[in-house]
Amino acid sequence: MSILSIRDLHVSVETDTGAKEILRGINLDINSNETHAVMGPNGSGKSTLAYALAGHPTYTITSGSASIDGEDLLGMSVDERAKAGLFLAMQYPVEVPGVTVTNFLRTAKTAIDGEAPKLRTWTKELSQAMKDLRVDPEFASRNVNEGFSGGEKKRHEILQMELLKPRFAILDETDSGLDVDALRIVSEGVNRVKSQSDVGILLITHYTRILRYIKPDYVHVIINGRVAEEGGAELAERLENEGYDRFQVVDA
């Protein structure tokens, strides 16, 4: 079992009018067998948390720490973080022109494991994962995210997660823009990974809909860059009924 620990994390971005603090002291502990939902209204800092953990250069850590099993994460390069077992499914996946899905996945797998996967098992795993996610076989030879529909982009993120087998996966609004069928397929993929390996999940979402398929052990509500409330799955049900209105959301 591993633990991802986030301590008093403060994160800023540079704007035209100077540095703007977005995360103002986030504390979270995620064990590698737990699913944590991070919820909150738009603009509360959810994606900033995801990017800061993944090492996006736009987001400056001004204080606090994040570690996996005591190993400092924030001092690592982006690929070192991936090797340490961290995975990010982005809210807005980027296009990688000229790189096919097959090559992208195999390169990522090789980089993370430190050796190329055995071709036969890899090919089998890839086609099984694609089948499970109801992805057309020709998908493998397309360029990453180029001309992908919203649903295809999200499925591709989960395909990566299934094949890369991270210890910690941050899923940033993987549910957004999915119709009910795609939501179910994507959720089943996440649940498959959970059942097959020890993985801690940080499920970032605005809506409670996906939590009907992926059951959270804990729910954290982020408001204005701080954790405003925490609880179990019942907190998500409460948010479903009441929304975020009872929280004081200040316009930044």
Cβ distance to ligand ADP smaller for residue 42 or 195: 42
Cβ distance to Mg ion smaller for residue 17 or 42: 42
The binder of 116, among Mg ion, ligand ADP, none, by C-beta within 5 to 8 A per type, is none
The residues binding ligand ADP (CB under 6 A) are: 13, 15, 22, 40, 42-48, 58, 252
The binder of 58, among Mg ion, ligand ADP, none, by C-beta within 5 to 8 A per type, is ligand ADP
The binder of 78, among Mg ion, ligand ADP, none, by C-beta within 5 to 8 A per type, is none
Can residue 15 be called a binding residue for Mg ion (CB under 5 A)?
no
Residues numbered 71 to 100 that lie near Mg ion (CB under 5 A) are 91
**Residues near 43 by beta carbon (within 8 Å), at least 6 away in sequence:** 252
Q: Least separation, in Å, of the C-beta of 13 and ligand ADP?
A: 4
Q: Least separation, in Å, of the C-beta of 46 and Mg ion?
A: 5
Can residue 47 be called a binding residue for Mg ion (CB under 5 A)?
yes
Q: Which stretch binds Mg ion (CB under 5 A): 43-51, 78-86, 155-163, 218-226?
A: 43-51
**One of 15, 17, 42, 195 touching Mg ion (CB under 5 A):** 42
Can residue 48 be called a binding residue for Mg ion (CB under 5 A)?
no
**Edge-first strand listing for the sheet containing 71-72:** 18-31, 3-15, 60-68, 71-72
Find the residue with minimal CB distance to Mg ion.
Answer: 47
Of 239, 222, 231, 206, which is closest to residue 9 (Cα–Cα)? 222
Residues that bind Mg ion (CB under 5 A): 42, 46-47, 91
